[in-house]
Amino acid sequence: MRLLGLDPGLGTTGWGVIEFDRGRLAYVACGIVVTDSDRPLARRLVQLADGLEAVLAAHRPDEAAVEETFVNRNAVSTLKLGQARGIALLVPARAGLPVAEYLPNLVKKTVVGTGHAAKEQVQMMIGVLLPGARSVSADAADALAVAICHAHHRGASAMAARVARGERA
């Protein structure tokens, strides 16, 4: 199964694609989508959507996972991050993919073993868990971490979604 992880941000959104087969992880690709800070917000959101659509077309994932947002002290920054996160949820959903969401602490705990790990620890563990991804940017490493988290928790996530829809677990 091919999984896409997304670490949303308005300026830079990290993405990572892994293969997950019978408990084994394999690195496929990763990168970032960067928006032009000189453009109006609406144009930046279009840039983000276009970049994510290109990732989907190039790597054809089966499922996607997006990191949930922490609330910042700066309300304007939080709002902009939320809008970028909305694009990160929308693009794979419009492509027909199931999309899961994970809290940052769960992502870090899954990959590093502690929910308060530093970005450098996440990057180091990504290199250990996915040897092909040894020197990737912090945003791409975070996205790969989201994909790994989804690989480990996707069954529970799917069950919670069924329960939320009122279906039998």
Considering only residues 30 and 162, tell me which one the structure prediction assigns the higher pLDDT. 30
Q: How many angstroms separate the CA atoms of 35 and 46, rounded?
A: 9
Query: Is 62 a known active-site residue?
Result: no
Lowest-confidence range among 9-13, 102-106, 120-124?
120-124
pLDDT tens for each residue of 142-153: 999 999 999 999
Q: Could you tell me which residues are beta bridge partners of residue 63?
A: 3
Catalytic residue among 67, 101, 142, 167: 67
DSSP 8: -
Query: Is 21 a known active-site residue?
Result: no
| Total-model pTM | 0.89
| Burial (CB count <10 Å: 0-12, 13-18, 19+), residue 46 | middle
pLDDT tens for each residue of 67-118: 997 767 788 888 888 999 999 999 999 999 999 999 999 999 999 987 888 8
Catalytic residue among 7, 21, 63, 142: 7
Q: Which of 52, 63, 44 has the alpha carbon at shortest distance from 4? A: 63
Query: Is 139 a known active-site residue?
Result: yes
DSSP structure string for 96-152? T--EEEE-HHHHHHHHTSSTT--HHHHHHHHHHHSGGGSS--HHHHHHHHHHHHHHH
